[in-house]
Structures are given as structure tokens and as C-alpha cells.
């Protein structure tokens, strides 16, 4: 069903390892008229900020932008549940004509009096950018009036893609922290950046670090709150899981507060162990490295036994990967390898040039690498390469099923924590339950 | 999560908390999928399109295809004409649909793109069609968007050949699931009446698993049929919010008389559909349907004591909620809270009239939100909540059973395949309601009250 022309228009964004010389073209805007899988600035900003549990997340715009983002991410909270509500100014025609500022002001007033939050985010959507409401001024006045933080998020959708939204979110986060640095930093403490606590993943990592002797000071942004974010500058180190969304923040925090940062990945055994080691090595306390080795030894021992059974079952199976960020894609390649599964197709929505370079190093010859793939391309290469399982997000799930291919959600809809050692087992279990389900016999 | 909802109800004028509606374009996108070999196109930024596809995918659990004009800052300043023209060219070159159905978004409405003139100056391959509708989300809701796209179909496609009208009926099903559309078609087929249904998403968003992915499944209303709808003798608009507007447009354009009925949920609304068909086409109600009706009445009498006097809250899309209210009244239940997120006085008028006739006093509201519904429930609790998935927060907070009917249902499956319309659909609703109520009764019963036969 795919037109050859279709593929021709996008050859720069697709390549097969071992066939072409040039890099995959990425980070470009989608073609007009494409079934793009990409989201907008607002969506990027919302995804990053939404897990802040005790904030009011007010979407300034027509109803849709708020409706579609109502509690769609399984970020768990150990405290407030306020973030799971959906707040919208629900702009109407007269607001579009005469401006929406008045409505925004009264919405803020109303929400502040109802919920007494300490922190309010006001997201701008496409239309706000066009009708010219001055979010900054409205928020500033409201801050004064209510004596709480009311932070505008400049996320008009058309001004770029999801990555621009991540950046807008990071800018908003920086506003929460005190703006002069450096701050006095505490001993063995880290901030954990780029984990949204899906299915409680942060809690797993926190526990590992605690056992090693490292305290997690603030988390960005899973299970975070106004107060914890405020004290973020006190950490000695920033560790960062999802770099796509957080690299900018980490860099800014280094500039302002002199907090160094470290890229980590807790997906799969190899990366989890390597990450823990490098975190421990960042501190001068030799006991940390010691305890890290002990922890890795105990955890891998139990887990390897469990994984071995899966490895035999997965022999000869092939996987296709289509996820948001490049770093996750890289970890997934390794993780599949640990499970005896070969990756035959890999793509991301927002991967960067350097991520694609690493992927290319990692994969076997013949693996297809593609940027911002549309469903037709996903289908073509999955079929061509004989993939048995696809890792993707919401929109890819039914596509995979229609092709009779197993599926794993590695995005908002994940149901089990996939981080750390226990996450590796959960991942294998999830792969197993879809890959080896009897339903495929009936296709 | 809803522990902060205060009980005191205050007038609110600003914004929505936990909305009971969403935006026009998603309705337009869904309607467009109801044309055979049609690709919906969202004229705006890519974010909107991505959200709409994701939301529909979650409800139908089927791949939902749509393209976007992928706006950038430049397009906002200079208008989206160039983007749309490129999009039209690319869509036909790459995805090769028969029809491209364009809807706007808030953004393109606000910057004021003139879609018809852009279309008329675009290169469209021979034999291919481009239709459009305007869907500003700051007006109405997703239901309005569905109505607007259906109206777009009439505007662009329906034609009258000027000859005497044919013995066939147009059916506008409204924003319902493919399983419902299929059931309505079955009923009309059983009556032996020739019909044209549009939009018709059955066979599109409920397509069977074949191990092969096809971009354009076999279902959907055929263009030549929609064209021929201008020659039909009658249009039945099922659901006033989603269908009356396009039906009237067809009446204006092609002189096909339009009759608005309720979405055929429940015994009375289904009776009315069949009666309307009989009246215009002089056919007897076939024995097969008479039997189905008799079975439904049998079930209603067998179970009425479970329902009688039970208090219900219903929320969701206006056409579905109106019909559901009528149905639960016929079961002896008491709908004390009835709410839709879609604006429109007609909703309150219709529901209030039914309640008045039944002697029930209730809170009824159009353009409400779930925050308000929750407040109502705190004031006056109910035994059952009927609505879409978003009701689950309230159901949990107040510990009341929830029956999921409407759009979207994001946390259960099969709902899009099985009907809630017609006699069979009514039976299914009774089963859902009694399962919910009786499971609850079993759960809560003291040992001595726990019964085998209920
Ligand atoms: S901008 Fe308008 S069309 Fe787009 S999601 Fe928001 S409400 Fe819907
Ligand atoms: S209007 Fe803009 S901000 Fe809202 S969903 Fe669409 S692209 Fe995103």
C-alpha cells in the first residue's frame, strides 16, 4: 500500500545500516500532508510538567487541548493528586475576538480559591499565541494578588515540535528554583532528572540509591511537588534519565548552581549497573562504590536466573522499536540483546543526530533506522524485516496488532515499572506475555 | 483525586474543571472516517491532529489515520494556504485516498484561512475529491464537529437529479459507535427498505484482523451513495445535535424532507424509528423485529423490580444522554442528574420535558463539566452513574457503580462493536445496568441477606 514515491520523499530520514554513508536526517519539521506521529510544543511541555503533583495545570485555550491531556500519563504520586484534574479556560468565540485575558484572570482566581495551590502553571496553546493574550503580565499580576507562584508556560503549539515544548517546560522549572546560585550543596545527594514516575519507576531507583548511600533530593518531575523542586539546587549532582526532555535543564543548573550532571539509563541490566557505578564514582566516598558492587551482585544474581528462562523462549525473535527519544531507543537495543532478541528496525520521534550515530554503531547490518516514521513506513519495514514485536506508543499499538505483531507500550500507557533490575524482569515478562500469547495462532 | 471537590455549589463563569466535552475537529475526523476510502485532514499544527488520532485510537483500539498541514510559525503569519496546497498534493501522491476531508482547527480558524478558495486553486488529481468543513473548537463541541463534517458531505457531494424521489431513506446516525451503525442498518434492512447511511464508520474503525494492514478498510459510505442521497424520499436525522443540521442542509439543497428522531436508544426511541419508516414506506414491521421487541419487553418486565426507584446520574453527549434518559425512565429509574458538556438550550428543554412528563425533578444542564456533576452527586447521591470513562473518578470518590456508555471509553474494550441502539441494544443496556447494580448488591450484602436467586 505504500507508494514508492512516499518513501522517496523521505529517503533522507530513513536508512539501512551498511548501505548508505550519510546520517539520518532528523529534528526537521514534518512534511505538510503527512500522517505525522509528532506532537506539538504544548504536548511536550505538558508531558514534562504534568507530573508535578500539587500544581494546578491550567490550559489557556479552547477545550480540546486540555481534554486530550487529562490524566493520560500514568505518573504516580505519593502525595497530592491535584495534577490529575483537568483545568481549561475553555475559550469561546467572544474570547477569541476580544481576547481571553479576562477569562484567564477569573479562572486563576477561581482555581486558587477552590484548591489553594502553591503553584499554578498556565499553558499557552496555539490560539493564544495568535490572539495575543499577554500571559506573562496576567500571571505576574495574579502572583502578586494571590501571593503564590503562577508560572506561564510558553507552549504555543506551532512554534516548533515537542522538543521546543520540553525546553519551555525546563524554563518554567527554572523559575521555581531560587534564581541566584551557587547554593550550598549537601553531601551524597542527587537530583533525578527525566523520570516521570510511570508505574512508580522513580521509587525503584530511589531505593537502589538509598541502599548505596545516596539520597535523592528532588525528582524531575515524577512524584515531585512545589517544595521539593524548590530545594533542587541543594543537590551535589544531577543524574538524568530522559535527556531529550531534560538536557537543557541540566545544563542550565550547571551554569547557575554549578551542579554537574551525568547521563544515566536504568533500562536493562547492563545500563542499570553501569549507571549505578558511574553515579557512585562521582562521589569521593569509596564506600559508595563498595555498596554499589554489592547491590549489583545481589540484584543481578536473582534476576539473571529469572531472565534465563525467557532468553531460551525468545531465541530467534526479532523486534522493531519506535519510541519518542533517542536515548531510550539506545537502551532498548541493548535490553533486547540481553534477552536474545535482535532489533531489525529502529526509529524515534525526536532523536538527535548523536543518538542516531550511537544506534548505528549498536545495531547489526541490515537494520532499518528511521526518523519520524509514518504508519506506512512502520508497516513496510516491520513486514519486510519480519519483526515479531513492536515497541511503541498509543498510536502504534493497533497498527502492530493488525499486522499480527506483538506489542509493548514503552510510553504513557505502560502498566508495570520497566526501570532497574526488577524492571528488566517486568520487561521480559511483558515481552513474553505478548510475544508468546496464543492469540497469534488465530491470525 | 477528587477529595478537594467542595460540596457547596457556587456559580462558575470561568473555564472548565474536568470537561465533559472535547473539541470539534475530533468529531469531524471521526465523521470523515465514515466515508469509504477517505482520509481526514487536519488543517492546523501537528499537535491537534496527533491528539485527535490518539484519542480515537484509544476509544476504538484501531489504527486511525489522518494527515496534518503541519503548521509552523511562518504559516501563522502568512496564512496556511501554501501548507494546505502542499498537503493536498502530498496526500494524494503518498496516501492515494479517493476523498480528502479537510477540517480546520482553532488556529486556522483564528488566522482566518479561506479553505474553499485554497481548495479551488489546489492541484487535485482527476477523479479525486476534496471536501471541507469549518470546525472552530471555541464553538460547540466534538458533536458539533461531527455535524459540521456531515454537513460538509452534503454540501460537496449530495446531488438531486431532479427526477421524482426514490423509494429510499437517508440515515444520519450521529456520533455513535460502528456497532450502533451496523445495528441501525440491520433494522432498516429487516424492514426491507433501501437506505443510504452516512457517515458510516462500520467496517472502518472496527475492521477485522487479517494479519494485513489496509489503510482504507472495506467499510464507509460510498461517494456515489452520498451523492444519491439527494434523490431519496426522506432523511432521518438520528439525534438532533449531531444530525439535524446536515439533514436540513440536504432538505435545502436537494428538497429531501428531513425528520429528526432521537438516537434510537431504548424501546420508545426504537419504536419511533420503526414507526417513522413504516409510515413513509408503507411496510409492515417484520415478524423478526416484532419478536425482538417482544423479547425486550419480556426482559423489562422480568427485571423491572431491580430498577424501580433507583436514582441515576447520566452524563455525556447530548443525543445519547437524551435517549438514555428516556430509556431509564421507562425502566422506572429516576434520573436526578443529567448533564452534557455540549452547549445548547435544546438539551435542557428536551430532558426537562421528559422529566416533567414522568414527574421527576432533577438537575439538568448543558455545557456543564464533571466538577459540577460531582458537586451535584455530593448533594444528592445516586445508585448508578452512566457515562463515559471520565466518570470513573467520581464513581470511585463516591463509591457508586459506573456503566460505561458513550464517548470516549478508554478503559474497557468491545464497546465499539456491540450496539446500544435498537431492541437488542436496549437489552444489552439492561444487562449492563443490572450487572452493575446486582454485583454491587452482592458485594454489599450482609451474610444473611446474600442470595442465590435475584
Ligand atoms: S487547538 Fe483547538 S483543535 Fe486543536 S486540540 Fe486544541 S481545541 Fe482542539
Ligand atoms: S492547538 Fe496547538 S497547542 Fe493545542 S494541541 Fe493543537 S498544536 Fe498543540
What is the helix (H) or strand (E) element at residue B449, kind and residue range? none
B441 & B302 share domain: yes
**pLDDT-derived band at A22, boundaries 50, 70, 90:** very low
Which residue, B270, B285, B300, sits at the end of a domain?
B285
A272 & A249 share domain: yes
The reply to whether B60 falls in a domain is yes
Q: What is the mean pLDDT of residues B48-71?
A: 92
Distance A73 CA to ligand 1 centre (A): 19
What whole-number percentage of chain A has pLDDT above 90?
A: 63
A169 & A240 share domain: no
B131 & B209 share domain: no
A48 & A101 share domain: yes
| pLDDT for residue B79 | 82
| pLDDT for residue B1 | 73
A168 & A47 share domain: yes
| pLDDT for residue A3 | 44
pLDDT tens digits, residue range A325-344? Answer: 787 888 899 999 999 999 99
| pLDDT for residue B393 | 96
| pLDDT for residue B408 | 97
Which residue, B250, B285, B320, sits at the end of a domain?
B285
Q: Which residues contact A222 (CB under 8 A, 6 or more apart)?
A: A51, A75, A76, A195, A196, A197, A198, A201, A202
- Name the least confident of A326-335, B201-210, B317-326: A326-335
B112 & B140 share domain: yes
Which residue, B157, B189, B210, sits at the end of a domain?
B157
Q: What is the mean pLDDT of residues A272-293?
A: 95
B36 & B81 share domain: yes
Alpha carbon of A274: minimum distance to chain B alpha carbons (Å): 36
Q: Examine the pLDDT at B14 and tell me if it is beyond 90.
A: no
ipTM here? 0.92
> Does B72 reach chain A within 8 Å, measured CB to CB?
yes
| Count of the separate structural domains present in chain A | 3
Higher pLDDT, A180 or B108: B108
The answer for A 179-198 residues in CB contact with B (under 8 A) is none
pTM: 0.92
Nearest CA to ligand 1 atom 6: A65
A153 & A248 share domain: no
Q: Examine the pLDDT at A349 and tell me if it is beyond 90.
A: no
A222 & A343 share domain: no
Which residue, A269, A297, A325, sits at the end of a domain?
A297
* DSSP assignment of A18-37: TT--SPPP-SPPPPTTB---
* Angle subtended at Cα B128 by Cα B141 and Cα A374, rounded to the nearest 5 degrees: 65
- B190: phi then psi, degrees, rounded to nearest 5: -60, -30
**pLDDT-derived band at A20, boundaries 50, 70, 90:** very low
Q: What is the mean pLDDT of residues B400-427?
A: 97
B268 & B363 share domain: no
What whole-number percentage of chain B has pLDDT above 90?
A: 87
A141 & A165 share domain: yes
Is the sign of the CA dihedral A380, A14, A394, B22 positive or negative? negative
The reply to whether B337 falls in a domain is yes
The reply to whether A137 falls in a domain is yes
**pLDDT-derived band at B342, boundaries 50, 70, 90:** very high
Distance B111 CA to ligand 1 centre (A): 14
B281 & B301 share domain: no
The reply to whether A27 falls in a domain is no
**pLDDT-derived band at A379, boundaries 50, 70, 90:** confident
The grid coordinates of residue A16 equal: 539501512
| pLDDT for residue A30 | 65
The reply to whether B257 falls in a domain is yes
DSSP assigned state of B62: S
Tell me whether residues A93 and B17 touch, CB distance under 8 A: no
Q: What is the mean pLDDT of residues A242-252?
A: 88
Q: What is the dihedral of CA B103, B105, B107, B113, to 10 degrees?
A: 20
| pLDDT for residue A181 | 62
The reply to whether B16 falls in a domain is no
Q: Examine the pLDDT at B195 and tell me if it is beyond 70.
A: yes
Distance B358 CA to ligand 1 centre (A): 39
Higher pLDDT, B282 or A10: B282
- B17: phi then psi, degrees, rounded to nearest 5: -115, 120
What whole-number percentage of chain B has pLDDT above 70?
A: 99
Q: What is the mean pLDDT of residues B86-101?
A: 95
Structural domain for A348, as ranges:
313-412
**pLDDT-derived band at A357, boundaries 50, 70, 90:** confident
Assign residue B98 the CATH number of its domain.
3.40.50.1980
> Does A40 reach chain B within 8 Å, measured CB to CB?
yes
Q: What is the mean pLDDT of residues B168-188?
A: 98
Nearest CA to ligand 1 atom 4: B48
Chain A residues with CB under 8 Å of B19 CB are 63, 66-67, 70, 86, 88, 90
Tell me whether residues B213 and A125 touch, CB distance under 8 A: no
The reply to whether B46 falls in a domain is yes
pLDDT tens digits, residue range A123-170? Answer: 999 888 888 899 999 999 999 999 999 999 998 867 677 888 999 999
B120 & B201 share domain: no
**pLDDT-derived band at A17, boundaries 50, 70, 90:** low
A166 & A201 share domain: no
- The whole-angstrom separation of Cα B87 and Cα B42 is 10
DSSP assigned state of B18: S
Chain B residues with CB under 8 Å of A36 CB are 46, 49-50, 67-68, 70
| pLDDT for residue A411 | 72
Query: Which ligand ends up closest to the CA of B27?
Result: 1
Chain A residue closest to B18 (CA)?
A86
The reply to whether A17 falls in a domain is no
Q: Examine the pLDDT at B297 and tell me if it is beyond 90.
A: yes
The reply to whether omega before B199 is within 30° of 0 (cis) is yes
Assign residue A138 the CATH number of its domain.
3.40.50.1980
| Count of the separate structural domains present in chain B | 3
Q: What is the mean pLDDT of residues B413-424?
A: 97
A408 & A372 share domain: yes
pLDDT tens digits, residue range B248-290? Answer: 999 999 999 999 999 999 999 999 999 999 999 977 899 999 9
Burial category of A291 from C-beta neighbours within 10 Å (exposed 0-12, middle 13-18, buried 19 and up): middle
| pLDDT for residue B345 | 94
The answer for B 231-250 residues in CB contact with A (under 8 A) is none
> Does A376 reach chain B within 8 Å, measured CB to CB?
yes
Report helix, strand or coil for A132: coil
A211 & A271 share domain: yes
A125 lines ligand 1 (CB under 6 A): yes
B121 & B37 share domain: yes
What is the helix (H) or strand (E) element at residue A112, kind and residue range? helix A101-115
Structural domain for B174, as ranges:
166-285
pLDDT tens digits, residue range A24-82? Answer: 444 455 678 888 767 788 998 999 999 999 999 999 999 999 999 998 778 999 999 99
| pLDDT for residue A397 | 87
B442 & B364 share domain: yes
Highest mean pLDDT (candidates B136-145, B421-430, B438-447): B421-430
Q: Examine the pLDDT at B75 and tell me if it is beyond 80.
A: no
Distance A396 CA to ligand 2 centre (A): 21
Q: Examine the pLDDT at B239 and tell me if it is beyond 50.
A: yes
Tell me whether residues A70 and B390 touch, CB distance under 8 A: yes
Is the sign of the CA dihedral A51, A52, A54, A57 positive or negative? negative
Burial category of A262 from C-beta neighbours within 10 Å (exposed 0-12, middle 13-18, buried 19 and up): middle
Q: What is the mean pLDDT of chain A?
A: 88
Nearest CA-CA partner of A423 in A191, A197, A189: A197
| pLDDT for residue B203 | 96
Q: Examine the pLDDT at B319 and tell me if it is beyond 50.
A: yes
| pLDDT for residue A27 | 46
B421 & B313 share domain: yes
- The whole-angstrom separation of Cα B406 and Cα A164 is 35
The reply to whether A391 falls in a domain is yes
B84 & B127 share domain: yes
Nearest CA-CA partner of B344 in B321, B360, B328: B321
Tell me whether residues B57 and A397 touch, CB distance under 8 A: yes
What is the helix (H) or strand (E) element at residue A56, kind and residue range? strand A56-60
A126 lines ligand 2 (CB under 6 A): yes
B28 & B122 share domain: yes
Amino acid at each position: 500500500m505504500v507508494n514508492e514515491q512516499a518513501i522517496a520523499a523521505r529517503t533522507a530520514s530513513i536508512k539501512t545500516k551498511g548501505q548508505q554513508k550519510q546520517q539520518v536526517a532528523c529534528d526537521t519539521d514534518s512534511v505538510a500532508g503527512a500522517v505525522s506521529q509528532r506532537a506539538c510544543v504544548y504536548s511536550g511541555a505538558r508531558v514534562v510538567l504534568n507530573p508535578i503533583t500539587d500544581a494546578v495545570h491550567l490550559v489557556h485555550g479552547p477545550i480540546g487541548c486540555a481534554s486530550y491531556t487529562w490524566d493520560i500519563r500514568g505518573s504516580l504520586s505519593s502525595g497530592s493528586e491535584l495534577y490529575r484534574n483537568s483545568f481549561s479556560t475553555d475559550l469561546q468565540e467572544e474570547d477569541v475576538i476580544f481576547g481571553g485575558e479576562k477569562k484567564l484572570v477569573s479562572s486563576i482566581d477561581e482555581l486558587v480559591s477552590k484548591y489553594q495551590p502553591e503553584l499554578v502553571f498556565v499553558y499557552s496553546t496555539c490560539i493564544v499565541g495568535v490572539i495575543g493574550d499577554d500571559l506573562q503580565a496576567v500571571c505576574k499580576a495574579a502572583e502578586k494578588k494571590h501571593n503564590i507562584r503562577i508560572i506561564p508556560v510558553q507552549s504555543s503549539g506551532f512554534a516548533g515540535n515537542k522538543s521546543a515544548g520540553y525546553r519551555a517546560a525546563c524554563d518554567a522549572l527554572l523559575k521555581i528554583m531560587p534564581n541566584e546560585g551557587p547554593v550550598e550543596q549537601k553531601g551524597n545527594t542527587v537530583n533525578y532528572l527525566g523520570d516521570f514516575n510511570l508505574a512508580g519507576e522513580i521509587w525503584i531507583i530511589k531505593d537502589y540509591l538509598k541502599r548505596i548511600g545516596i539520597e535523592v533530593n528532588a525528582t524531575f518531575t515524577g512524584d515531585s511537588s512545589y517544595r521539593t523542586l524548590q530545594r533542587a539546587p541543594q543537590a551535589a549532582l544531577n543524574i538524568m534519565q530522559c535527556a531529550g526532555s531534560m538536557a537543557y535543564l541540566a545544563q542550565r543548573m550547571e551554569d547557575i548552581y554549578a551542579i554537574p550532571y551525568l547521563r544515566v539509563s536504568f533500562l536493562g541490566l547492563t545500563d542499570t549497573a553501569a549507571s549505578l557505578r558511574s553515579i557512585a564514582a562521582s562521589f569521593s566516598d569509596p564506600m559508595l562504590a563498595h555498596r554499589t558492587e554489592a547491590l549489583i551482585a545481589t540484584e543481578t544474581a536473582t534476576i539473571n536466573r529469572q531472565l534465563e528462562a525467557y532468553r531460551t523462549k525468545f531465541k530467534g525473535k526479532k523486534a522493531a522499536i519506535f519510541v519518542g527519544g533517542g536515548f531510550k531507543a539506545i537502551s532498548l537495543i541493548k535490553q533486547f540483546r540481553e534477552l536474545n532478541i535482535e532489533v531489525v528496525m529502529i526509529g524515534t520521534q525526536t532523536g538527535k543526530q548523536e543518538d542516531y550515530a550511537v544506534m548505528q554503531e549498536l545495531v547489526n547490518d541490515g537494520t532499518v533506522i528511521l526518523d519520524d516514521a509514518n504508519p506506512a513506513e512502520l508497516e513496510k519495514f516491520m513486514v519486510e524485516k519480519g519483526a515479531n514485536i513492536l515497541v511503541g506508543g498509543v498510536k502504534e499499538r493497533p497498527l502492530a496488532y493488525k499486522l499480527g505483531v506483538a506489542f509493548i507500550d514503552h510510553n504513557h500507557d505502560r502498566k508495570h515499572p520497566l526501570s532497574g533490575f526488577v524492571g528488566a524482569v517486568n520487561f521480559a515478562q511483558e515481552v513474553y506475555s505478548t510475544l508468546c500469547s496464543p492469540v497469534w495462532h488465530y491470525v | 483525586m477528587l477529595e478537594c471537590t467542595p460540596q457547596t455549589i457556587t456559580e462558575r463563569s470561568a473555564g472548565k474543571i474536568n470537561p465533559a466535552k472535547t473539541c470539534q475537529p475530533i468529531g469531524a475526523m471521526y465523521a470523515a472516517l465514515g466515508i469509504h476510502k477517505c482520509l481526514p485532514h487536519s488543517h492546523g499544527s501537528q499537535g491537534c491532529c496527533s491528539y485527535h488520532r490518539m484519542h480515537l485510537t484509544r476509544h476504538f483500539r484501531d489504527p486511525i489515520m489522518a494527515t496534518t498541514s503541519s503548521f509552523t510559525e511562518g504559516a501563522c503569519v502568512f496564512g496556511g494556504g501554501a501548507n494546505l496546497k502542499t498537503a493536498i498534493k502530498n496526500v494524494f501522491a503518498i496516501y492515494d485516498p479517493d476523498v480528502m476531508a479537510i477540517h480546520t482547527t482553532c488556529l486556522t480558524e483564528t488566522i482566518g484561512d479561506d479553505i474553499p478558495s485554497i481548495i479551488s486553486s489546489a492541484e487535485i488529481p482527476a477523479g479525486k475529491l476534496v471536501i471541507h468543513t469549518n470546525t472552530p473548537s471555541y464553538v460547540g463541541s466534538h458533536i458539533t464537529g461531527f455535524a459540521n463534517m456531515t454537513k460538509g458531505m452534503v454540501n460537496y457531494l449530495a446531488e438531486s437529479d431532479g427526477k421524482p424521489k426514490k423509494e429510499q431513506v437517508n440515515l444520519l446516525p450521529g456520533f455513535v459507535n460502528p456497532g450502533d451503525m451496523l445495528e441501525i442498518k440491520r433494522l432498516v434492512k429487516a424492514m426491507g427498505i433501501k437506505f443510504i447511511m452516512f457517515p458510516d464508520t462500520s467496517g472502518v474503525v472496527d475492521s477485522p484482523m487479517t494479519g494485513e494492514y489496509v489503510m482504507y478498510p472495506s467499510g464507509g459510505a460510498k461517494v456515489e451513495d452520498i451523492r444519491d442521497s439527494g434523490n431519496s424520499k426522506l432523511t432521518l436525522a438520528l439525534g438532533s445535535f449531531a444530525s439535524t443540521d446536515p439533514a436540513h442542509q440536504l432538505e435545502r439543497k436537494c428538497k429531501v424532507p428531513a425528520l429528526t428522531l432521537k438516537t434510537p436508544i431504548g424501546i420508545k426511541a426504537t419504536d419511533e424509528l420503526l414507526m417513522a419508516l413504516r409510515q413513509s414506506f408503507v411496510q409492515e414491521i417484520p415478524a423478526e423485529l416484532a419478536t425482538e421487541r417482544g423479547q425486550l419487553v419480556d426482559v423489562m418486565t422480568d427485571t423491572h423490580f431491580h430498577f424501580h426507584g433507583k436514582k441515576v446520574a447520566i452524563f455525556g453527549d447530548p443525543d445519547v444522554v437524551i435517549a438514555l434518559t428516556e430509556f431509564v425512565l421507562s425502566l422506572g429509574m429516576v434520573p436526578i442528574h443529567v448533564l452534557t458538556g455540549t452547549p445548547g438550550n435544546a438539551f435542557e428543554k428536551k430532558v426537562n420535558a421528559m422529566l416533567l412528563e414522568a414527574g421527576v425533578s432533577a438537575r439538568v444542564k448543558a455545557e456543564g463539566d464533571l466538577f459540577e456533576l460531582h458537586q451535584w452527586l455530593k448533594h444528592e447521591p445516586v445508585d448508578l452513574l452512566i457515562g463515559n470513562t471520565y466518570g470513573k473518578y467520581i464513581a470511585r470518590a463516591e463509591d457508586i457503580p459506573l456503566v460505561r456508555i458513550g464517548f470516549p471509553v478508554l478503559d474497557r474494550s468491545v464497546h465499539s462493536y456491540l450496539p446500544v441502539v435498537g431492541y437488542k441494544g436496549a437489552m444489552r443496556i439492561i444487562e449492563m445496568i443490572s450487572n452493575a447494580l446486582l454485583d454491587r448488591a452482592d458485594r454489599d450484602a450482609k451474610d444473611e441477606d446474600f442470595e442465590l436467586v435475584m
